[in-house]
Amino acid sequence: MLFRSASREVVMLNGASANGTSRRWPDAHYLELARMLVRDPNRAVLLLCGPGERELAAKLEQTAAHPRIRSMANRDMGFGLAKASLLRGQVLVTTDNGPRHIAAAFQIPTVLLAGPIDPRANANANLREISLRTELACQPCGKLECPLRHTQCMNNLHPNRVYLAVRGMLDACRRNAA
């Protein structure tokens, strides 16, 4: 069992990308967001990861050193476990990757870190998804590696902005459950 209480709000973070560096959110941003989220004692953070992202998820969990920030790095993250993990959480924060599209199938509230992608061109059927991006002249490039070698489209997505989006989604989930 990852968390002691089954009644906690769980926010899932999955911002790495095995498909190039341009879609990767900085590690420091992940940590800052995770720490902001667990300031609420009834909230936990689950770091999701694919096979190529396990090392990163394990490193983030170890660096966070918090009992309510856990990763799936030591588990075989097959399709079944990925679905079960997504269904356990209340909100997913992700880049444009597999878990985003699984979340769409179940209408899981999702905060998309759009970075280099055009959210309209990469749209899915999740009516409960919002996309966050910065406004840069080079966006959307859609490239796996930043052609300008700065990845500012991801670096400039500050954790506080993502936190506010997650809080808004959690508030909406609570209102809808009442």
Tell me, what's the pLDDT at 159? 97
Label residues 86-97 b or e (16+ Cβ within 10 Å = b): bebbbbbbbbbb
Q: What is the DSSP string of 71-132?
A: ESTTS---HHHHHHHHHH-SEEEE-SSHHHHHHHHHT--EEEE-TTS-TTTT--S-TTEEEE
Torsional class of 30: left (φ above 0), alpha (ψ -120 to 50), beta (otherwise) = alpha
For the entire predicted model, the pTM comes to 0.90
Checking if the pLDDT of 1 tops 50, the result is no
Q: What does the block give as tokens for 96?
A: 């444009």
Residue 44's Cβ-side half-sphere holds a number of Cα atoms within 13 Å equal to 22
User: pLDDT of 26-82, one tens digit each?
Assistant: 889 999 999 999 999 999 999 998 777 888 889 999 999 999 999 988 887 777 888
- H helices then E strands: how many in the chain? 6, 6
